[in-house]
A = this chain, B = another copy of it.
C-alpha cells in the first residue's frame, strides 16, 4: 500500500495503537473507556477514510446486537472531546486521531479527492501566521478547522508511474 508511514499510520495497525492511547488517556483522566466507545474508536481507526456516524453504527451492528446511530454519536462526542477522534466538517464524517497531541489545536487535514484518505498533520508556521493575522483583525480565536482537499502523494506517485 502506501508506505509513507514515517509520519503516522492509520490502518489496521493504527487501530491498536489508537486503542492503547485511548486506554492510557482514560486511565490518566479517570474516564470510562467503555465497550461502545472502544468499538467506535476501533471502527474509525481501522479506516484511513472518514466514516459517517451511520456507517459506524452499521459496522458495529451484528445479528443480536444493534447499535443505534444515536449511541454512536454519544461515543463520538466523548472521543472528539478528548481528542481521540476528529470530525471532518467538510464531509460530516469522522477519523481517528493519528497523533498524540490530543488537544486538537493546530491540526491540518489533508483529504485526497482521489482515494479518499485523510491525513493529519500539524503546521506550526501556518499556526503562527494565522495567529498574527487574527490578532491584527482584533479577533480572539477559540478553535478552528483547516481542511485541504486535493491529491495525496501516493495517488500522485501512482498517476506518474502509470501514465
B129–A125 touching, CB < 8 Å: yes
CA separation between A138 and B148, bound complex, in Å?
13
Known: A89-B89, A144-B149, A146-B145. A138 touches B123 (CB 8 A): no
B152–A139 touching, CB < 8 Å: yes
Q: Given the complex, which residues of B lie within 8 Å of A139, measured CB to CB?
A: 110, 112, 119, 148, 150-153
A145–B142 touching, CB < 8 Å: no
Q: Given the complex, which residues of B lie within 8 Å of A126, measured CB to CB?
A: 126, 129-130, 133
A153–B137 touching, CB < 8 Å: yes
Chain A count of residues within 8 A CB distance of the other chain: 37
A141 contacts chain B at the CB level, 8 A cutoff: yes
Count copies of this chain in the complex.
Answer: 2
CA separation between A72 and B151, bound complex, in Å?
31
Q: Nearest chain B CB to A104's CB is how many angstroms away?
A: 12
A71 contacts chain B at the CB level, 8 A cutoff: no
The one of B4, B90, B123, B129 in contact with A89, judged by C-beta atoms closer than 8 angstroms, is: B90
Q: Given the complex, which residues of B lie within 8 Å of A121, measured CB to CB?
A: 133, 137
A147 contacts chain B at the CB level, 8 A cutoff: yes
Q: Given the complex, which residues of B lie within 8 Å of A149, measured CB to CB?
A: 141-144
CA separation between A144 and B148, bound complex, in Å?
4
CA separation between A151 and B143, bound complex, in Å?
10
Would you mind naming 10 contact pairs between A and B with Cβ atoms under 8 Å apart? A90-B145, A110-B137, A110-B139, A112-B139, A126-B130, A138-B153, A138-B156, A139-B150, A142-B151, A144-B148
Given contacts A123-B133, A126-B130, A139-B153, 4 further A-B contacts (CB under 8 A): A139-B148, A139-B152, A141-B148, A141-B150
